[in-house]
Structure 1
Amino acid sequence: MKLLISHASPYARKCRVTALEKGIADIEEVHVSPLDEPEKLNHLNPLGKIPCLIYGENKTLFDSPVICAYFDEIGEGPRLMPQEGDAHWAMRRHEALFDGILDSALNIVTDIRKPQEQHSAQWQQRWGCAIDRGLSQAQNELDKIEGDISTAQIALACAIGYVQFRLRDHDWLSPYSYLKEWHDEFAQRPSMRATEPK
């Protein structure tokens, strides 16, 4: 298997953490810049986005929830995502919430990288408020995802890690001491330390 990634991609990090937690060792990580090297990616993922997994006879999967679900199915040990019932849909909801934090953070980063005259203070504020509401909700519901490692925990940890990595001028976790304590501990897992963004 080949996993197309960049070191700084939080979505790729979710997949890498999941693979490590599931004991999947036979993955070749291929570093690709979607903007600078589209010829390496677009024929595999027409959306031109990473991560993208190549497996089997040149089959592909893309979008981090799909790749993580595949790793969860083929890897070792207990499932990271409940397979059915209310527990399944509750975790899907949590994953969507935490991926939404990532989406908002990435939108801010993308806007900041534009020329100054193209920045949108209105949209940056809107995305920042979405991050803050997401973190608040995460702290309020943290007791529902604590326990054995899960897809939701990985998504939340990678979202917080990305916010702290790319938007470090603001202390996003200062109002959420319980959430910060949880993340500080989770970030010490070998899978998280091995995939820290560069």
Structure 2
Amino acid sequence: MKLLASTASPYARKVRIVLAEKKIECELQPVDVSPVDNPVNAHNPLGKIPTLVLDDGTALYDSRVIVEFLDNASPISRLIPEDVRDRVAVRRWEALADGVLDAGLLVRYESLRDKKERSKDWSDKQLARMRRGCEQMSKEIEGRAWCHGGRYSLADIALGCCLGWLGFRQPGDVNWHAEYPGLARQYQKLMERPAFADTAPIAPK
């Protein structure tokens, strides 16, 4: 298998962490998806990362689909519960963390536009979503060792990838380290895991 990804992508980091936790061998192929014609297009019609190319040539895309596949590919360290209610709870955490990321990415993309073309109202709307999401995650993690069920799961991975990217790119004025100390403590705890430490976001060269 090979993973088409960027070392700065939080969604790709989620997949890379799952690969590490599940001890699944996979080649990492860094790609740049900014050009219209990029190597991902040959495998993913959407031209987006992460894209996982299986040994038979089948391509899986969207981090949520990929991690579902990987968690079922190996019995080691199950990250998505089998119980329906627990599974939904973990996936809900993932949706919340990914939603904060989506808003953060929109803020970053807007900031890269020419100043005359930027929309403050648009950015403020996304920043408000980010802040509400961070507040909700902070509220739900309070007093807990892990996001759900008292054990490490995909929910924690999604949370960590979200927080790591926010700290890396720092979109807008949301300083989650200072504003949400509970999230800061949780991220520090997650970074003690080799899978997190080894996949810390790095700007592409």
Q: TM-score range by the shorter chain?
A: over 0.9
1:17 counterpart residue number: 17
Aligned-partner SS, 1:61: strand
Q: 1:76 Cα deviation (Å)?
A: 4.0
Q: 1:99 and 2:101 equivalent?
A: no
Tell me the CA shift for residue 65 of structure 1: 0.7
1:129 and 2:131 are equivalent in the alignment:
no
Q: Does 1:180 align with 2:184?
A: yes
Asked if residue 151 in structure 1 is aligned to residue 150 in structure 2, the reply is no
- Alignment partner, residue 43 of structure 1: 42
Q: Normalising to structure 2: TM-score of the pair?
A: 0.90
RMSD: 1.6
CA distance in 1, matches of 2:178, 2:187: 12
1:38-66 superposed Cα distances (whole Å, 9 cap, x missing partner): 34111211111000000031001000011
For the 8 Å contact 1:12–1:51, the answer to whether it is kept is yes
Inter-CA distance 169–131: structure 2 relative to 1 (3 Å threshold): closer
Q: State the TM-score, normalized to the length of structure 1.
A: 0.93
Deviation readout 1:124-145 (Å, 9 max, x if unpaired): 1111111111111111111371
Cα distance in 2, alignment partners of residues 131 and 67 from structure 1: 25
Name the amino acid aligned to 1:62. Answer: Y
- The answer to whether the Cα contact below 8 Å between 1:5 and 1:31 also exists between their aligned partners in 2 is yes
Question: Residues of 2 paired with 1:163 and 1:101: CA distance?
Answer: 9
SS at match of 2:200: coil
Unaligned runs of 5+ in 2: none
Question: Is 1:191 matched up with 2:164?
Answer: no
Structure-2 separation of matches of 1:115 and 1:129: 22
- The residue correspondences of 1:157-168 to structure 2 (distance < 5 A) are 157-167=160-170
> 8 Å contact 2:107–2:171 — kept in the other structure?
no
CA contact (8 A) 2:17 2:157 kept: yes
CA–CA distance in 2 between the matches of 1:59 and 1:169? 38
Aligned mates of 2:125, 2:55 — CA distance in 1: 42
Aligned residues: 197
2:56 aligned counterpart, secondary structure: coil
Equivalents in 2 of 1:79, 1:185: separation in Å? 20
1:69-101 CA-to-partner distances (Å, cap 9, x unmatched) read 111111342310112321111111111001001
Q: Is the 8 A contact 1:23 1:76 kept in 2?
A: no
**Residues 75-90 of structure 1 correspond to what in structure 2 (within 5 A)?**
75-90=74-89
Q: How far is the alpha carbon of 1:37 from its aligned partner?
A: 6.7
What amino acid is aligned across from residue 73 of structure 2 in structure 1?
A: I
- The Cα shift of 1:8 comes to 0.5
